[in-house]
Amino acid sequence: MSTKPLIPVSRRGFLGGSAATLSVAAAKPASAQATPPDQTKPRKKGVTFTLNGRSQQLDADTRLTLLDALRGPLGLPGSKKGCDHGQCGACTVHVDGERRLSCLTLAASLEGREVVTIEGLADGEDLHPMQQAFIDNDAFQCGYCTPGQIMSAVACVKEGHARTDEEIREYMSGNLCRCSAYPNIVAAVKQAKGRM
């Protein structure tokens, strides 16, 4: 089979064509060649949201996660950082009444939202029924996963997903406990369900 080009092109012609192509590229408008913005420079965004029942303003670096905002500038270290990758549930909070992994939520995205953390569950000195149930049923050991477990457990009941042990296990499966307090956690959810 012939490998000759359909239109004969001399080496000089080919080089000339390449040079022309390059000069067209070089002649592109300046806007197309503008230097991209420096992604390493921090950018801030002001957000106003409700945090545990109070209006909260935050001038947040657009890369700041809700978890780091809570544990840092907002001074609420109850939500725990386990994996920081959305895999353990230790950082679970409620946003607009639904459970949310705060390590995967950007603080800058919270404008107008309502955030509740483990610090906002109790009613003054009165523990939330789920907090009390965790104590009554010995549902924690080291306690590291407990804030996230409790926030998920409250949502699990409110969602109507606590009808059977199997259902509780299924809907709590995003919250890992390295101490394996699972049977007692299920018992706590069942107890609190009737008191919420």
The residues of the shown chain that bind ligand FES, judged by CB under 6 A, are 81-84, 86-91, 101, 103, 140-146, 177-179, 181
Q: What is the layout of strands, in order, in the sheet containing 54-61? A: 54-61, 44-51, 114-116, 92-95, 98-101
Whose Cβ is closer to ligand FES: residue 131's or residue 146's? 146
* Smallest distance, ligand FES to C-beta of residue 186, A: 13
- For residue 101, what are its two tokens? 């992994």
| Smallest distance from ligand FES to CB 136, Å | 15
Q: How far is the CB of 169 from ligand FES (least distance, A)?
A: 15
Q: Which long-range contacts (CB under 8 A, 24 or more apart) does 160-163 make?
A: 162/189, 162/190, 162/193
Considering beta carbons, is residue 22 or 142 the nearer one to ligand FES? Answer: 142
Which one, 81 or 158, has the nearer CB to ligand FES? Answer: 81
Q: For ligand FES, which is the closer residue by CB, 25 or 142? A: 142
Nearer to ligand FES, 81 or 161 (CB): 81
Longest Cα pair distance anywhere in the chain, in angstroms? 90
* In the complex, least distance from residue 65 CB atom to ligand FES, rounded to whole angstroms: 9
* Residues listed for the chain: 196
- d(Cα 190, Cα 151) in Å, to the nearest integer? 15
Cβ 51 to ligand FES, closest distance in Å?
Answer: 18
CB-nearer residue toward ligand FES: 53 or 72: 72
> Quick one: which of 100, 141, 123 has its CA closest to 53?
123
Per-residue buried b or exposed e for 45-56, using 16+ beta carbons within 10 Å of the residue's own CB: eebebbbbeeee
The minimum distance between CB 101 and ligand FES, in angstroms, equals 5
Return the H-helix or E-strand segment holding 87: none
